[in-house]
Amino acid sequence: MSASSTAEVPFVPKTKVGRITNFVDERVGGSGILRDFGRKVFPDHWSFMFGEVALYSFVILLMSGTFLTFFFDPSMAETHYTGSYTPLSNVEMSVAYNSSLNISFDIRGGLFFRQVHHWSALLFVASLGVHMLRVFFTGAFRKPREMNWVVGGVLLILAMAEGFTGYSLPDDLLSGNGLRIIDGVIKSIPVIGTYISFFLFGGEFPGTAIIGRLYVLHILLVPAMILLMIVIHLFMVVVHKHTQYPGPGRNDGNVVGYPLGPVYAAKAGGFFFIVFGVVALMAAMFTINPIWNYGPYDPSPVSAGTQPDWYIGFVDGALRLMPGVVNDFHFEYIIFGHVLTLNVLLPALVPAGIIFTVLFTYPWIERWITKDDREHHVLDRPRNAPTRTAIGVAGFTWYCVMWAAAGSDLIATHFHVALNDVTYWLRTLFFLGPIIAFMVTKRVALALQRKDREIALHGRETGRIVRLPHGEFIEVHAPLDDYKHYKLVGFESPSPLPAQPNEHGVVTRKEKRRAALSRWFFEDRVAPATPAELEAAHGHGHHEAIESVEEQKSLSH
Amino acid sequence: MGNHSDGSPNHSGTVATAGQNVVEKFQDPGLPPHRLRPADTDPRAAKRAERQVAILFGISVIGTVIFLVSYFAIDLGQDSTIATIRTQNLLLGLGTAFAMLGIGTGVVHWAKALMPDHEVSEERHAIRTEEDRQAAVRIVEDIVEETGIKRRPLIRNTLLGAVALAPLPALAVFGDLGPRPDDKLAHTMWAPQDGKLKRLTRDPDGTPIKASDVTIGSAFHVIPEGLNELKEGKLNAKAKAVVLLMRLNPDDLTISKGRETWSYNGIVAYSKICTHVGCPVALYEQQTHHLLCPCHQSTFDLTKECKVIFGPASRPLPQLPISVDAEGYLVATSDFKEPVGPSYWERDEHERLINS
């Protein structure tokens, strides 16, 4: 662009670097890209860093994983250990486990890279999850970002798949038992379960094929899909531009923040090194997955207190919570000579199915209830969307109950309580927890909104007690400045939308249901303070102020 | 619901009703004024920040040196101990951490303290303009028109048919990922071979167990005779055949009809593979005679033929019929009378097959 548009006087670079840059620029049009993106504005907030953590830990995973592939051998052939870890000397094991031990004990930096890889994998899934919670609670999934929310959900599933396939590769006792559980779950699938199991393991469990197959999935297929999804995700972030938190000077028509060059690039780029540094610190100081303690996979032994990696925990916990027999009722039936084993099938598929179905469809559910088809670029403070926040916390609580159940035995041993009681309590919380969480969260959000109103109308408490001449004590309230004040009052509080007739003038039953949900969604909503209310609050004493507001409200009805 | 701080929701004014949105709102005061940082006004503060950034970069250099030194100076030879490996891991990790954190914190500090911190505002643009939409529709219509696909349904229909069928080979090629299950899950190594009953042997060394070795209250992890000698498929066979052997006071056992000859002097053998999802049921509570699976806590009552008394399993552990041979060693008189391990679709069919 730069050279051709000023065709009359061709640009001649003066320095060597300039000549190289110009050569490339003339052939790829870098100037135009830099013009578009060099000063692109990015809003700044600590909660926007979770997505960055996820991205950076994925980069660390690619780098450390590539190193590990140079030394790892995914074969399940039998061998005898001859490496330098003497407790396992001459023990029969698979080549895969043998090479994992060699990486840990005989390759300089191998143990460090294994621990970097494992820690960043745990961090990757965790930061994805927290990033999605941030996006949910701030309403960032709303139009135009619904599809990017779905891409994020796919990334979460892929990350869990990537984690599980990698976890199984060392072929140690712990991961082998994990595979055995997966095999048991697969076998419970009606009609085709046994076939899927035989096809996955290349015959009976454990066979000699599974590690090689998981290896291809782990280092090729799944990471390629993750990379593709990340590209789509970031492309859409560029198209949409970033969301921003509400505040003075910020609205749906603009984006306020720091330019990419230099401040944002420096902060985000520097942050990569910080994430890497923290992961390295963890890998240096905290042992993760000490496979040499577990021994090679053998179908007979198992250690007490077995745990999966944290992100699989909620499924494992659901498996633990489901009773197999209640009184004399067995959850395993025989129907027409075939076995339907609901005690495995239900907990393995239903909770995860519900969580991901609601997760993927939520943007459309809320859009349908509120009939809100506008673009939203300013985020909601979670308290200003109480019902959504309550739904999110309810779902999160449900997840956490199942997650805690995956450690029921550890809870029992650490707190010296009966394992059975822990399970009974968690079974109860499985049903009641989300309901309690919903009610409590909604009330807390509404209370926070009222507190905001209170501060907006009467100022903040200064802690200064003054005695008036007639003996009354009051606490002095100081008014907020305009900018802080606007943050408390500058939000939308939409009202429930009554059922609307369709083009034939008929109010359908579906529309009535929608209206009922809309009433529920905006129930007890708190409106932002208005200038009139503020004026009234200032014009009178404390009590009179509130009364006058009420009078004014009732007059306006 | 609850106590509204300003009274009841209908009168407090805090709860908005329809029509609230027409009420006048506060004006957006615009971006807050820019606040100067120490480094913006005080050259000495700026100089100090500059030095701090340089020191952080220097720390990074030190970290890189630590990494290189500990990589080359510490050798992992055959005689290295676990302590050597731990030390090297610690030093490599700390070196990397300093190298990375030095650069990271240095750059961020540079950005925060010295680079301009003016927030700027940029307009957002429509993601799709109506003009673009109309142009795109015209282009698509032209393309469709030029292909003539609407006028030539024969081409369209044959293409659809071909495209629908073409992926089938891509599914079919997965047919050899594994063998058909057939009745492989129905049998284990315990079936007598050439009329010879298999001895119960210790896991993992494979030494046979005499009935007189099994005292009341003891438990043995058991594998079938000949398992360790298998050339291939050892783990597959073991994954189905592992057994727990225990001896109780015969009076404590409840024995159902048809199983009278399956135990010997209070010695009973049960499959160790959990009927839930297949973990080894490795924990034996001697006092209560309960077997507990450490994976999902299914609990089986040994005195009631391993009936499920807690947890997610739905079926009792299969019992292995045992007896003693002429030399006093424990032997399995037959294979399990039902498939072991987790349930599967064809399981009932296989159970009928075994007992027919």
Say yes or no to pLDDT of A547 above 90.
Answer: no
Q: What are the tens digits of pLDDT across the range B228-237?
A: 999 888 999 9
Average of pLDDT values for B168-186? 93
Q: What is the number of other CB atoms lying within 10 angstroms of the CB of residue A16?
A: 8
B184-355 belongs to which CATH class?
mainly beta
Which tokens belong to B264?
């010997």
Domain ranges of chain B: 38-113, 184-355
Count CA atoms closer than 13 A to A231's CA, side-chain side.
6
CB contact under 8 A, B80 and A272: no
CB contact under 8 A, A344 and B342: yes
Are A379 and B352 in contact by the 8 Å Cβ rule? The answer is no
Q: What are the tens digits of pLDDT across the range A339-390?
A: 999 999 999 999 999 999 999 999 999 999 999 999 999 999 999 999 999 9
CB contact under 8 A, B277 and A331: no
B252 vs chain A: nearest CA distance in angstroms?
A: 22
Say yes or no to pLDDT of A66 above 70.
Answer: yes
Report the DSSP beta bridge partners of residue A259: A41
Average of pLDDT values for B55-83? 90
Amino acid sitting at position B167: P
Are A269 and B107 in contact by the 8 Å Cβ rule? The answer is yes
CATH topology classification for A51-245+257-319: Cytochrome Bc1 Complex; Chain C (1.20.810)
Are A284 and B92 in contact by the 8 Å Cβ rule? The answer is yes
B chain contacts of residue A405, beta-carbon cutoff 8 Å: none
B chain contacts of residue A101, beta-carbon cutoff 8 Å: none
CA dist list (Å): B181 to A83, A199, B184: 38, 9, 6
Q: Give the DSSP H/E element, type plus range, for residue B200.
A: strand B198-202
Are B76 and B85 in contact by the 8 Å Cβ rule? The answer is yes
Are A370 and A514 in contact by the 8 Å Cβ rule? The answer is no
Q: Could you please report the per-residue DSSP string of A268-318?
A: HHHHHHHHHHHHHHHHHHS----HHHH-B--SS---TT----GGGHHHHHH
Which tokens belong to A308?
């999966």
B169 vs chain A: nearest CA distance in angstroms?
A: 17
Residue with tokens 């300089």: A108
Comparing CA positions, the residue from A461, A494, A161, A528 lying closest to residue A315 is A161
SS3 A329: strand
Q: What is the number of other CB atoms lying within 10 angstroms of the CB of residue A313?
A: 19
CA dist list (Å): A397 to A362, A374, A440: 17, 31, 12
The model's pTM is 0.92
Q: What are the tens digits of pLDDT across the range A454-488?
A: 999 999 988 899 999 999 998 888 989 999 999 99
> What's the CA gap between B74 and B80, in Å, rounded?
9
Q: What are the tens digits of pLDDT across the range A209-256?
A: 999 999 999 999 999 999 999 999 999 999 999 999 999 999 999 999
pLDDT of residue A538: 76
pLDDT of residue A539: 67
SS3 A413: helix
Mean of the per-residue pLDDT values of chain B? 90
φ and ψ at residue B336, rounded to 5 degrees: -55, 150
Report the DSSP beta bridge partners of residue B122: A255
Report the DSSP beta bridge partners of residue B292: B283, B299
> What's the CA gap between A40 and B97, in Å, rounded?
31
Residues sharing a CB contact under 8 Å with residue A332, sequence separation 6 or more, in sequence order: A324, A339, A340, A341, A342, A343, B314, B315, B343
Q: What are the tens digits of pLDDT across the range A253-298?
A: 999 999 998 999 999 999 999 999 999 999 999 999 999 999 999 9
Per cent of chain B over pLDDT 70 is: 93
Facing B111 at nearest CB: one of A270, A496, A552: A270
Amino acid sitting at position B50: E
Stretch among A140-154, A404-418, B77-91 having the lowest mean pLDDT: B77-91
Count CA atoms closer than 13 A to A205's CA, side-chain side.
30
Facing A194 at nearest CB: one of B32, B345, B348: B345
Per cent of chain A over pLDDT 90 is: 81
CB contact under 8 A, A195 and B181: yes
As annotated, the residues of chain A forming the CATH 1.20.810.10 domain(s) are 51-245+257-319
Residues sharing a CB contact under 8 Å with residue A8, sequence separation 6 or more, in sequence order: none
Residues sharing a CB contact under 8 Å with residue A242, sequence separation 6 or more, in sequence order: A42, A43, A48, A255, A257
Are A96 and A75 in contact by the 8 Å Cβ rule? The answer is yes
Average of pLDDT values for A182-197? 95
CA triple A78-A80-A86, angle to 5 deg: 145
Torsion angle of C-alpha atoms B191, B197, B200, B206, degrees rounded to 10:
-90
CB contact under 8 A, A144 and B127: yes
Residues sharing a CB contact under 8 Å with residue A91, sequence separation 6 or more, in sequence order: A80, A81, A295, A296
Q: What are the tens digits of pLDDT across the range B266-298?
A: 999 999 999 999 999 989 998 999 999 999 999
A chain contacts of residue B103, beta-carbon cutoff 8 Å: 270, 273
A chain contacts of residue B105, beta-carbon cutoff 8 Å: 270, 274
pLDDT of residue A310: 93
CB contact under 8 A, B104 and A201: no
Residue count (chain A): 557
A chain contacts of residue B100, beta-carbon cutoff 8 Å: 273-274, 276-277, 280
Residues sharing a CB contact under 8 Å with residue A320, sequence separation 6 or more, in sequence order: A405, A406, A408, A423, B296, B297, B311, B312
C-alpha of A108 from chain center: 35
Say yes or no to pLDDT of A548 above 50.
Answer: no
Which tokens belong to A300?
């007979």
CB contact under 8 A, B294 and A304: yes
Average of pLDDT values for B237-248? 95
Q: What is the number of other CB atoms lying within 10 angstroms of the CB of residue A238?
A: 11
CB contact under 8 A, A325 and B100: no
pLDDT of residue B19: 43
> What's the CA gap between A113 and B89, in Å, rounded?
9
Q: What are the tens digits of pLDDT across the range A498-516?
A: 998 989 989 999 999 999 9
> What's the CA gap between A299 and A293, in Å, rounded?
16
Torsion angle of C-alpha atoms A196, A201, A205, A208, degrees rounded to 10:
170
Q: Give the DSSP H/E element, type plus range, for residue B330.
A: strand B330-332
Residue with tokens 């970031």: A234
Residue with tokens 């096809």: A199
> What's the CA gap between A188 and A348, in Å, rounded?
10
Comparing CA positions, the residue from A462, A461, A445 lying closest to residue A387 is A445
B308 vs chain A: nearest CA distance in angstroms?
A: 7
CA triple B267-B271-B277, angle to 5 deg: 150
Average of pLDDT values for B55-65? 98
Average of pLDDT values for A88-107? 95
Which tokens belong to B197?
């009953």
Model ipTM?
Answer: 0.90
CB contact under 8 A, B314 and A325: yes
Q: Is A192 exposed, middle or buried (0-12, 13-18, 19+ CB in 10 A)?
A: exposed
B chain contacts of residue A530, beta-carbon cutoff 8 Å: 23-26
pLDDT of residue A190: 94
- Band of residue B16 on the pLDDT scale cut at 50, 70, 90: very low
Comparing CA positions, the residue from A176, A61, A74, A171 lying closest to residue A115 is A61
